[in-house]
Amino acid sequence: MSRTISGSLLQPGGTGDQGTLNLTAKYNTPGSSGVPAGAELDITVAADGSYSDAVELGTYVVNFTPTGGTARRLGVASIDDGAASDILTLIDASASPRSSLLGIAYGGTGASTKADARSALGLAIGSDVQAYNADLAAIAAGSWTGAASITTLGTITTGSIAASHITAGTFADGAYSFAGSTIADLGTVTTADINGGTIDGVTIGGNSAGAGTFTALTSTGNTILGNASTDTLNVGNGDLIKDADGNVGVGVTPEAWTSALSVLRIGEVGAFYSHTPASGGRSVALANNVYDDGSFNYIVEDEASRYLQQNGKHILQVAASGAADADISWTTVLTVENSVGVGTQSFGAGAAGVLAIANGTQGAAATNMVQLVSKDLTAGNTMLSVRTEGSGSKIAGTPAAEAGSIALEYNGATIYLPYSESAPT
């Protein structure tokens, strides 16, 4: 007794699988027409994968040989008088493993090679999945010891690289994040440009108003803070300040001084300054309540003074009280060169070792002092004016015989000069 079986062998995508189905009887089937064991039947599979043929009832080992290919065993089919006719439906999968020629729809790959099978399943090496790589396997196992080079490492989300595995080299340009990491020893940093982040939890930034602070900074050898003359420096929160003009303040921020001077400002009103650069006629000065922004000005409302060394002279100048930032008008009260000038810096041609007293105003008599002042007797006729503790330049009362005289002491002896308010004839 026979029955007709038919069906279709399809490859992935629905294309046919042309070739030959070979059915080999396993044993005589009781009650059948007695197909001898080992009897074979070849069924042709058309180009579109379809087949149809009459087969005696029985149990057969089913093989398929694609045109120009190698035979593949599909399994064991029991052909009886049931309704099923597709050979793939008739095959008992538990009786023997099916061939990889089975289509994806039937649990196979529809391919006869490993490469085709991977491609059919979307697992092509190099495009769908990464090919085996010994270095990647070692990295995954935590036993990677390094390679000659890695062109692009990509992103490492978690994990670490042992210090012994980085022996030399550089980090290429780019942005790196070590958030949450601890660098125990940074070693020697030749050049560092820090434009963000924190130091000891304090935000820093090259373009931010607050540049941040170091809890402790220890340095040995040559140390450079700032790499441009216009860089500013603040040490101890105002204890020492360098401004963009190169001037330095101790406990104070320097005013906007003229660029012709280099300045050390000390406290609220003190200043020590000198001209820049060095050349003839320049000076060095110690000043009180003075700053120079092109003209001399008061720092606060008060008197001002300065002591200059200039052109071989020592010069003391004072100014009456003035408002803060107002212009200063100096009065020279003492000049010392190889002569001494009181109220003047001029000594006359050829003068040396003299005391020069500028014209002034004699004050009222004061206790235990003598006033000497230069005064014009007539125009162009300057005289020395003396003001004593007594009445004018006259000796008053004691001894009475000497009243109306001018007293001078010479080598311990008192000399009395006659006093007269009449011009000599």
Q: Average pLDDT for residues 86-93, to the nearest whole number?
A: 73
Q: Which amino acid is at 192?
A: A
pLDDT level of residue 402 (50, 70, 90 thresholds): very low
Query: What DSSP state is assigned to residue 114?
Result: H
Closest CA to 362 of 395, 388, 390, 380: 388
CA dihedral 385, 387, 392, 393 (to 10 degrees): -70
Give the Cα-Cα-Cα angle 220, 223, 226 (nearest 5 degrees): 155
Cα distances (angstroms) measured from residue 309 to each of 229, 270, 274, 284, 305: 28, 17, 10, 6, 14
**pLDDT value, residue 410:** 54
Q: Average pLDDT for residues 59-84, to the nearest whole number?
A: 81
Residue 319 CA to residue 317 CA, distance in Å, equals: 7
**Residue owning tokens 């027409």:** 33
356 DSSP β-pair partners: 341
pLDDT at 163 over 60: no
pLDDT at 250 over 90: yes
Residue 90 CA to residue 147 CA, distance in Å, equals: 56
CB atoms within 10 A of CB 302: 15
Give 360-386 pLDDT, tens digit per residue: 776 776 677 777 777 776 777 777 777
pLDDT level of residue 196 (50, 70, 90 thresholds): low
Residue 28 CA to residue 60 CA, distance in Å, equals: 10
Cα distances (angstroms) measured from residue 221 to each of 218, 234, 240: 10, 21, 21
Give 294-303 pLDDT, tens digit per residue: 999 999 999 9
pLDDT level of residue 199 (50, 70, 90 thresholds): low
pLDDT level of residue 186 (50, 70, 90 thresholds): confident
Considering the chain, what percentage of its residues have pLDDT values greater than 70? Answer: 68
Phi–psi pair at 72, nearest 5 degrees: -130, 135
CATH class of residue range 2-120:
mainly beta
**pLDDT value, residue 227:** 65
The backbone region for 412, taken as left when phi is positive above 0, alpha when psi lies in -120 to 50, beta otherwise, is left
**pLDDT value, residue 107:** 57
Q: Average pLDDT for residues 214-224, to the nearest whole number?
A: 69
Domain with CATH 2.60.40 in the chain: 2-120
Q: Mean of the per-residue pLDDT values for the chain?
A: 76
Residue 79 CA to residue 43 CA, distance in Å, equals: 14
**pLDDT value, residue 138:** 82
Considering the chain, what percentage of its residues have pLDDT values greater than 90? Answer: 16
Joined tokens for residue 218:
């220890």
Q: Average pLDDT for residues 43-50, to the nearest whole number?
A: 85
3-state secondary structure of 211: coil
User: Considering only 201-205, 225-229, 235-239, which range has the smallest mean pLDDT?
Assistant: 201-205
**pLDDT value, residue 116:** 81
pLDDT level of residue 353 (50, 70, 90 thresholds): confident
pLDDT level of residue 154 (50, 70, 90 thresholds): low
Joined tokens for residue 193:
């440009």
User: Considering only 56-60, 100-104, 140-144, 409-413, which range has the smallest mean pLDDT?
Assistant: 100-104
CA pseudo-torsion sign 308, 314, 315, 316 = positive
Q: Which residue has the higher pLDDT, 304 or 190?
A: 304
Give 116-146 pLDDT, tens digit per residue: 888 888 888 888 888 888 878 888 887 777 6
Q: Which residue has the higher pLDDT, 138 or 412?
A: 138
User: Considering only 95-104, 226-235, 317-326, which range has the smallest mean pLDDT?
Assistant: 95-104
Provide the pairing of β-strand 248-250 with 261-266. Answer: parallel
Joined tokens for residue 46:
């058309």
Joined tokens for residue 255:
């005013």
**Residue owning tokens 């700053």:** 291
Whether 289 and 269 have beta carbons less than 8 Å apart is answered as yes
Cα distances (angstroms) measured from residue 366 to each of 82, 373, 385, 403: 149, 14, 15, 20
